[in-house]
């Protein structure tokens, strides 16, 4: 497959997707915001970003905007053969600014695009893309250093989980809250918390169930439903594994303790 060079405005409402080809986005007019697997930034005229294949990215244009986009399949001539080293640009997402020579090359590329009676041919697109990528590769020092990723906002995730305790919660739901693909969310989440997303949600459910046991007289069957367990026996099994006793035993212990303390205060 060949490279494709195109110009489009970006929607002013937030959009998100991932695709199986690499992409370079360069601002021509106005501004746009991007978040690529947790790395956020803005682009404007003569600045841009690198979007590696299969990386979930969120983006939004601001007002009147126009972007030059290079769609670059991994097997494109501009990234293979003699140009294979240029694929290292897509080791990680990155934001960049064009220096003066690259600005002149961008002007040339746009003139070539404008002078073409139809869309640029596949061969033209690959030659123009390879020259641009080669110059960018030289400026960014070869392989893009993995940028320091921001920490996941666990408070935001906790709030989302707590609001949806009675419902099924998928990894995709949590990943969307963090603006990450499922694969990157899983690895980042385990790296930060030491738990899988499933283990974390289960622990959150159990903590909520324990609070309801301690603070209410709600039937165990209702506590199970309110905290996302299919039925009371599922809650009991999970509770015993986590706390060493079934929820009914914890409730009896709490009631006995309450009765003993009340008796002491009345004698």
Given a cut of 70, whether residue 241 has pLDDT beyond it is yes
Q: What is the pLDDT of residue 118?
A: 67
C-alpha closest to that of 58 among 14, 19, 90: 14
Q: Produce one character per residue of 229-252: b if its CB has 16 or more CB atoms within 10 Å, e if not.
A: beebeebbebbeeeeeebbeebee
SS3 content of the chain, % helix, strand, coil (to 5): 50, 20, 30
State mean pLDDT over 28-44: 89
Residue 149 — pLDDT band, cuts 50, 70, 90?
low
Q: What is the pLDDT of residue 263?
A: 47
Q: Per-residue pLDDT tens for 53-85?
A: 999 899 999 999 999 999 999 999 999 888 888
- The position carrying tokens 């990155």 is 94
Range list of β-strands (E), 52-201: 57-72, 94-97
Q: Per-residue pLDDT tens for 177-198?
A: 888 888 788 888 888 888 889 9
Mean pLDDT over the full length of the chain: 87
State mean pLDDT over 210-230: 90
How many whole angstroms separate alpha carbon 89 and alpha carbon 111? 25
The percentage of the chain sitting over the pLDDT mark of 90, rounded to a whole number, equals 49
Q: What is the pLDDT of residue 201?
A: 93
Lowest mean pLDDT across 117-121, 197-201, 240-244? 117-121
C-alpha closest to that of 136 among 128, 124, 125: 128
Given a cut of 70, whether residue 143 has pLDDT beyond it is no
What is the distance of C-alpha 245 from the center of its chain? Answer: 38
Residue 267 — pLDDT band, cuts 50, 70, 90?
low
């Amino acid at each position: 497959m060949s490279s494709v060079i195109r110009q489009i405005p970006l929607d002013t409402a937030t959009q998100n997707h991932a695709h199986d080809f690499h992409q370079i986005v360069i601002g021509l007019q106005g501004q746009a915001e991007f978040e690529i697997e947790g790395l956020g930034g803005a682009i404007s005229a003569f600045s841009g970003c690198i979007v590696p294949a299969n990386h979930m990215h969120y983006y939004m244009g601001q007002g009147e905007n126009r972007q030059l986009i290079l769609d670059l399949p991994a097997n494109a001539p501009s990234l293979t053969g003699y140009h294979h080293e240029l694929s290292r640009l897509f080791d990680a997402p990155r934001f960049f600014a064009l220096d003066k020579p690259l600005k002149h090359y961008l002007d040339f590329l746009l003139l070539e695009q404008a002078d073409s009676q139809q869309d640029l041919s596949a061969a033209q697109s690959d030659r123009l893309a390879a020259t641009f990528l080669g110059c960018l590769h030289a400026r960014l020092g070869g392989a893009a250093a993995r940028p320091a990723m921001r920490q996941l906002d666990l408070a935001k995730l906790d709030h989302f989980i707590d609001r949806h305790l009675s419902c099924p919660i998928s990894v995709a739901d949590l990943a969307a809250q963090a603006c990450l693909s499922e694969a990157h969310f899983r690895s980042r989440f385990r790296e930060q918390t030491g738990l899988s997303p499933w283990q974390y949600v289960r622990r959150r459910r159990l903590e909520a169930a324990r609070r309801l046991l301690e603070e209410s007289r709600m039937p165990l069957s209702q506590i199970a439903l309110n905290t996302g367990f299919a039925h009371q026996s599922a809650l009991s099994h999970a509770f015993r594994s986590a706390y060493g006793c079934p929820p009914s035993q914890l409730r009896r212990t709490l009631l006995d303790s309450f009765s003993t303390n009340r008796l002491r205060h009345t004698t």
